[in-house]
C-alpha cells in the first residue's frame, strides 16, 4: 500500500497547539525514524509517508483538522501526474481530450478537475511527484507512453497547442478587469467574430456597462464570449453555467459547440449541472478520490454511461467503487404529494408592481405557501423573482393586490456570495452568530447543517481563505440557521458539485420540515429543482422590461410550463431518474412537443 499524507499548510499551527499529533504517534515512540515531525522552520508538521503506518491517531489529535492520511494500492503510484509539494494534494492520471468531440469532466470539488485543465492547457507543468527534481518535458511524455494522452502532451510541449481557459471563479474578473464590455471584447477578438458572438450570446444590452457593474450571469456570459473570440485550438470551460438561468445555459451550450469547432479543436468542459453536461458533451471522464488529498481520472466514457456510472458510484472500466451509495432523483407526482398543512404560512392575492425609474413591471398570480413546503422558482434572470420576494417580505408594496397573510421574518441567501457577505472572521463565528445551536455538536441543527455539509472541518478557517463552494455552503447554512418564517435561497447550487447539491437539497427539506416553516428556492439546475421542490412557480416575460408569474403548481405541471416557454423537451433517464434534454429536432423532441409533454416523468 502507498500512503498519501496531506498536511494543510494554512491550518497546521504548531505554535497554537500542544503537538499531540507528534507526541502520540506510535511510530515515533517505537522507532528511531519518525513518522511525523516538525518542519525545519517549525511552521508545520511533516509526515514521512514511507515510515507512517496509517494508524490515524494524528488525524484525531489535530485540533484544526489539518491532517489527512489515505491508503492507496501500489499500482496507483505509477499513474502519478502531479503533486503540489510535500504532504500536499496528489493527482493520478489525466483525462484525454480528443478532436471531433467535446470532453466533459465531472467529479467532487477538490478532487483535481481544475488541476487537470491547468495541466492540459499548459498553465501547470506536471512534475510526476518529483517535487525537488522536476522532470523534463521528454520525461513527462515518456511517463505517458502507450496512453491516449501522450500525443496530446507532445503537441502541448512542442507549442502546437494554443489553449484558452474560462476560469471557475468569475469574481476575480470583476476586481481585475477595467473598462466596458465592448472595449474588452474588441481587445479579445482575434477571429473577427465579435458581431456574431454578441448576437448569439445576446450581449447587446450590456455592451456599454463597466465590468464592475455586471451581474453574476452577465459576467459569466462576458467571460465565455471573450474565450470564444480567441483564436485557439484548445478551449477549456471551468463551470460555465454558474449564475445562468436555464434558458441561458441552453444558449451557451449551443454557442460553445458552434464557435469552438470541436471537429478540429480540443474542447473540455467542467460542469456540475448534469443536464447541461449531458447536452453539450460527447464523452465524460470522472475524477474521483478524496477531496483535498488525492484525485484519480477515469478513462473517457460515452456521455450517458459516464454520468450514470458517476451517479451509481461504480466505474466498471476501472472496477472501482467511488461512493458507497447511489444517487437517484425523484419526481413528485400527484400520488406522492404529502398531506398539506391545515393552514397557509403565507398567502397573497394577484399583485402588480412597477419600478418608477426602470419601468420594469411584474404581475403575479395569487398563491400560498403552507408549513413544510418548498416552493421552487424557475425563470430567466432579470424577470422579477427577487422583486417577488421583496413583495412577500414587505420591503416593497404592490400597486395592485396585497399580501393576505404575512410570513414575518424572512432569511435570505443572495445569489452572489463573497467574503463581504459575512460579518464574522471565521466559519465558526458566522454559524454561531446565526444560531448558537448551529455550533452545538449535540443539537440536531449542527448535524443537519454542519455535519451534512461537511463544515465541521472548516470551523476554524477564516472567511477569506474559503473556496467558492465552501462560501456557498456556509451562506446556505447561516441562512437556514437563522430563526425565520420564510427562507429565500437564491441559487444555492452555484460552485457545488453533484454530491454537495444533493446534500444541500436534503438539508433544505430537513430544516423546513423540522422547523415547521417554508422555503422559496430559486434554482436553475433542473436536477436540484426536481429533488428539493414540492411545487413550482414559473416566471417568464421579457427580462428587465416585464415579468409574469403563475401560481404555485405541482412540480410536473410547473416544469412542463417552463420548458414549453423555452421550447425544450426533457425526458427522464431510465436508470437514474435524472432529467435529460432531448436534442432539438430529434424523434423524442418532436414526439413530446406533439403531445404537449415537455417534461416527461415516464
How confident is the model over 15-72, as pLDDT tens digits? 888 899 999 999 998 888 899 999 988 989 999 999 999 999 999 999 888 999 999 9
466-508 residue pLDDT tens: 888 889 999 999 999 999 988 999 889 888 888 898 899 989 9
Mean of the pLDDT values across residues 378-391?
84
Instruction: Inform me whether the pLDDT recorded for 92 exceeds 80.
Output: yes
The answer as to whether 593 is a domain residue is no
pLDDT at 79 over 80: yes
In a domain, 65, yes or no: yes
Distance of CA 189 to the CA centre of its chain: 29
Same domain, 295 and 398: no
Q: In this structure, is residue 586 part of a structural domain?
A: no
Residue 334: the pLDDT is: 43
Among 72, 105, 127, where does a domain finish?
72
pLDDT at 282: 94
Are 518 and 384 in the same domain?
Answer: yes
Please, how many CA atoms are within 13 Å of residue 494, restricted to the half-sphere of its CB?
A: 33
203 inside domain: yes
Count structural domains, the chain: 3
Domain that holds residue 531: 334-553
> What are 315's three cell numbers?
466505474
| Count of residues making up the chain | 602
Q: What cell numbers appear for 549 in the block?
A: 408569474
Among 72, 102, 117, where does a domain finish?
72
Decide if 482 is inside a domain. Answer: yes
- In tens, the pLDDT along 295-324 reads 999 999 999 999 999 999 999 999 999 998
Shared domain check, 532 and 464 = yes
Count of CA atoms in the C-beta half-sphere (13 A) of 404:
13
**Predicted local confidence at residue 236, as pLDDT:** 96
Q: Do residue 242 and residue 304 come from a single domain?
A: yes
Residue 106 shares a structural domain with residue 137:
yes
44 and 114 share one domain: no
CATH code (residue 209): 3.40.50.300
Q: Is the pLDDT of residue 102 over 90?
A: yes
At residue 361, the pLDDT reads 93
- The answer on 109 and 20 residing in a single domain is no
How far is the CA of 495 from the CAs of 351, 473, 588, in angstroms? 34, 9, 32
Rounded to a whole number, what is the largest CA-CA distance in the chain?
81
Q: Does one domain contain both 430 and 300?
A: no
* Residues 439 and 403 reside in one and the same domain: yes
Residue 237 has pLDDT above 60, yes or no: yes
Position 487 scores a pLDDT of: 92
Mean pLDDT, the chain, rounded, equals 89
Final residue in a domain of this structure, among 553, 573, 595? 553
- Model pLDDT, residue 144: 92
pLDDT the model gives residue 46: 95
409 and 459 in a single domain? The answer is yes
CB count in 10 Å sphere of residue 101: 17
State pLDDT tens for residues 320-375.
999 988 887 765 544 344 556 667 888 999 999 999 888 899 999 999 998 889 99
Q: Are residues 33 and 160 in the same domain?
A: no
Which of 572, 484, 567 is closest to 520 using CA atoms?
484
What the block records as the C-alpha cell of 7 is 498536511
Q: Is residue 568 part of a domain?
A: no
Q: Is residue 598 part of a domain?
A: no
pLDDT at residue 339 in the model? 59
Q: How far from the centroid of its chain's Cα atoms is residue 497's Cα? A: 4
Q: What are phi and psi of 148, to 5 degrees?
A: -70, -25
The per-residue pLDDT for range 168-224, each reduced to its tens digit, is 888 788 888 899 999 999 999 999 999 999 999 999 988 999 998 888 888 999 999
pLDDT of residue 414 exceeding 80: yes
What's the CATH code of the domain at 24?
3.30.70.20
Residues contacting residue 149 through CB under 8 Å, at least 6 positions apart:
94, 96
pLDDT given for residue 281 in this prediction: 94
- Domain match, 402 and 535 both: yes
In-domain check, residue 26: yes
CA of 158: how far to CAs of 120, 151, 154, 162, 233, in Å? 13, 11, 6, 11, 14
Residue 550 pLDDT greater than 50, yes or no: yes
Amino acid at each position: 500500500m502507498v500512503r498519501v499524507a496531506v498536511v494543510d499548510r494554512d491550518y497546521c499551527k504548531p505554535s497554537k497547539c500542544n503537538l499531540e499529533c507528534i507526541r502520540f504517534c506510535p511510530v515515533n515512540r517505537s522507532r528511531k525514524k519518525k513518522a511525523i515531525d516538525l518542519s525545519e522552520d517549525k511552521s508545520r508538521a511533516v509526515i514521512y509517508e514511507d515510515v507512517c503506518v496509517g494508524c490515524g491517531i494524528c488525524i484525531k489529535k489535530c485540533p484544526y483538522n489539518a491532517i489527512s492520511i489515505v491508503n492507496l494500492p501500489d499500482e496507483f503510484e505509477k499513474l502519478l501526474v502531479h503533486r503540489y509539494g510535500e504532504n500536499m494534494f496528489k493527482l493520478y492520471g489525466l483525462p484525454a481530450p480528443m478532436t471531433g468531440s467535446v470532453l466533459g469532466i465531472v467529479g467532487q470539488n477538490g478532487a483535481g478537475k481544475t488541476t487537470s485543465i491547468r495541466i492540459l492547457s499548459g498553465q501547470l507543468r506536471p512534475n510526476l511527484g518529483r517535487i525537488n527534481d522536476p522532470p523534463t518535458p521528454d520525461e513527462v511524455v515518456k511517463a505517458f507512453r502507450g496512453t491516449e494522452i501522450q500525443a496530446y502532451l507532445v503537441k502541448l510541449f512542442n507549442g502546437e497547442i494554443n489553449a484558452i481557459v474560462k476560469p471557475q471563479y468569475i469574481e476575480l474578473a470583476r476586481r481585475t478587469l477595467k473598462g466596458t464590455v465592448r472595449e474588452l471584447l474588441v481587445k479579445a477578438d482575434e477571429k473577427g467574430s465579435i458581431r456574431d458572438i454578441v448576437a448569439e450570446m445576446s450581449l447587446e444590452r450590456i455592451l456599454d456597462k463597466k465590468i464592475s457593474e455586471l451581474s453574476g450571469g452577465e459576467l459569466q456570459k462576458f467571460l465565455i464570449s471573450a474565450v470564444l473570440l480567441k483564436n485557439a485550438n484548445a478551449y477549456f470551460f471551468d463551470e460555465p453555467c454558474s449564475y445562468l438561468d436555464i434558458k441561458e445555459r441552453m444558449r451557451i451550450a449551443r454557442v460553445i459547440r458552434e464557435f469552438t469547432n470541436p471537429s478540429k479543436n480540443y474542447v473540455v468542459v467542467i460542469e456540475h449541472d448534469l443536464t447541461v453536461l449531458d447536452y453539450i458533451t460527447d464523452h465524460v471522464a470522472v475524477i474521483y478520490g478524496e477531496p483535498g488529498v488525492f484525485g484519480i481520472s477515469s478513462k473517457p466514457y460515452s456521455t450517458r454511461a459516464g454520468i450514470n456510472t458517476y451517479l451509481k458510484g461504480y466505474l466498471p472500466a476501472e472496477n472501482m467503487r467511488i461512493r458507497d451509495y447511489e444517487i437517484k432523483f425523484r419526481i413528485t407526482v400527484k400520488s406522492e404529494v404529502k398531506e398539506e398543512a391545515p393552514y397557509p404560512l403565507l398567502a397573497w392575492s394577484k399583485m402588480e408592481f412597477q419600478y418608477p425609474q426602470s419601468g420594469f413591471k411584474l404581475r403575479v398570480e395569487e398563491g400560498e405557501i403552507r408549513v413544510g413546503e418548498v416552493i421552487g422558482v424557475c425563470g430567466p434572470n432579470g424577470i422579477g423573482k427577487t422583486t417577488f420576494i421583496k413583495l412577500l417580505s414587505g420591503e416593497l408594496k404592490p400597486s395592485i393586490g396585497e399580501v393576505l397573510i404575512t410570513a414575518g421574518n424572512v432569511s435570505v441567501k443572495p445569489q452572489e456570495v463573497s467574503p463581504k457577505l459575512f460579518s464574522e472572521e471565521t466559519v465558526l463565528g458566522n454559524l454561531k452568530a446565526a444560531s448558537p445551536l448551529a455550533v452545538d455538536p449535540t443539537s440536531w441543527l449542527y448535524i443537519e447543517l454542519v455535519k451534512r455539509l461537511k463544515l465541521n472541518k472548516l470551523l476554524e478557517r477564516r472567511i477569506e481563505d474559503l473556496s467558492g463552494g465552501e462560501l456557498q455552503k456556509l451562506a446556505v447554512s447561516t441562512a437556514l440557521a437563522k430563526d425565520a418564517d420564510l427562507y429565500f435561497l437564491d441559487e444555492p447550487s452555484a460552485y457545488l458539485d453533484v454530491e454537495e447539491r444533493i446534500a444541500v437539497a436534503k438539508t433544505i427539506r430537513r430544516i423546513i420540515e423540522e422547523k415547521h416553516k417554508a422555503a422559496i428556492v430559486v434554482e436553475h439546475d433542473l436536477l436540484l429543482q426536481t429533488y428539493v421542490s414540492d411545487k413550482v412557480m414559473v416566471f417568464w416575460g421579457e427580462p428587465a422590461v416585464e415579468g409574469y408569474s403563475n401560481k404555485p403548481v405541482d412540480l410536473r405541471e410547473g416544469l412542463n410550463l417552463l420548458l414549453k416557454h423555452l421550447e425544450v423537451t426533457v425526458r427522464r433517464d431510465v436508470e437514474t431518474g435524472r432529467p435529460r434534454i432531448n436534442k432539438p429536432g430529434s424523434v423524442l423532441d418532436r414526439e413530446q412537443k406533439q403531445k404537449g409533454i415537455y417534461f416527461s416523468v415516464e
